[in-house]
Chains A and B, each alone.
Chain A
């Protein structure tokens, strides 16, 4: 009897690229059309994302590609009237770093702007329901979430339906504010979605940033958080469940810029079915002035069947030695025959064994959402995925 190595861990230290020096521009023409060789496109599903690389007018085609269900947010009095390219807040933090983001910037003339008033605490989550109206309709958007000083709130972008959607999300967490931000990709499987989130966290402010992706064909959500103010803090969580034929991607960037900042990144991916793909690239930059930084990032993936692929690439770049701590970890494990046998040998039936492993793995993130409605929805999605996966053979033994 030989054992199989169930977890392959890698600890990497690869200070090869300087994320902060990545080109940025508001003008699509400044970006070359990606070929797939670029560092930020190398692992992407360029073929399916191609419609989002076309610089074309997207708001004059008879109907919009996305219906924005923001009635509840409007009723809460936190919606700012249409925000044009030159409006004060727009672009304060956000600068496009790739072609779809530059196109989305250009082609979206009215940004959606959610602004939490100064000092205001809003207990109920503010949920924007974004419904895709067709995968054949190219849609572009710029969305601003601005938490004014001392405010506390939770903002959710919940995406459903079919879409070809390039989306910029500009997040500003001003001094002393606390913002929970969650983007849920609950799309139909014909959706292609490229989203760039750029956040700045000011002094003593806190941002919990979450990316939860279950549905969609090619879904690329790249969050970037700049811990700008002294004592600023972020927790960045991600959860992706990639099924057969789904390509999920998150390129995460956490920049410790100010002093005494704290950042924690945890992304988890589950993969099942032929062609399921998950890409996680985690860049952490500890800037020259970032004395007292406390930083950690981790990516864990669970491979449920054969025929999937997970790429996990952590990068840590430290320009200041005077820090509290910095670390990163990456592990991709498989749910294999030996695990199944072990659990079943304790009386646990096969479907229950699979459920136990997957739910256990994913719940660590789900529980951090903290919103009943969303957690319930995610749990239901996990059950759906498990039901779909029950007919698939578990991942073969490593080396078999």
Chain B
């Protein structure tokens, strides 16, 4: 990101706000484009995966080869639908709700690294920020349910809020386990650690429990798979997005697939190596440079650091990224490909679970969250703390 700002600064010849806002505009715009294209692809993938698991074809006609253009056609159809509004609904809240829900998820993409230096913001608060921002979408859902002025919408929204809020606990607790091992919230540090020490899933017996707990809790947080009470209610009774039509409705859909992507990419980054291959073959993603830069920066930030150390740290930080030479560029892009492959594998597993398991009742959902996932998450945290202190 710094490189992009510097590049724009050189391009426009100014400093300060203009290259900053240009860089941000480019990054956010491309991320938004990526998310919408990804969502269309993910919906097509879901329909094909669902179909083949049910021994049938999915979309086959639209666009020729296996109906790849079906999502595009659906998006166009949604654009042309009539924009309904419930008669006594709350106009302002009704209009804001899809935006709040989508922004809540979209903001989580800011902290995710696709390779060293390819990140919108290398937040020190990385994963904690993602967890906090995911809490904002609950407010949007409640807003949507209330503004629809319909009992079923309200109850669907309340139930959904209860489910998501309850599952934030085991989700955050399970995420504590890799955080304990790596010792930092920064997502780049996870990649760098796994580049040096191998995938986190293989370090310690409690990682498997934590990974499983996090995966299940993230399914509930995305309102997916066996926990899709809010959506199923919309098939049977209603749900918080009943009164929405056309493009507003598609915002909720985008939000669901975007949060699936965030959950999968966190799963891939925190437990399964991120951009790295199993024995860190080829140093995909350039995390070696990143780790060195981080180490130097930590040394330079200590009080009374000598000036040349500070300068060296600054140079190392500037050198992180895919622009130094061809090897780095290739490593970065292959790293992104590997990361996306892992992410799509987890998205496939999420879809696989959706089309295998029946829906859980609301009391079963709550029981699972509090009685099964949370205790095992805490057990994994305590076990990892002991393991890290005495064994590793």
A binds B: no
Interface, chain A (partner B; CB < 8 A): none
What is the interface of chain B, defined by CB distance below 8 A to chain A? Answer: none
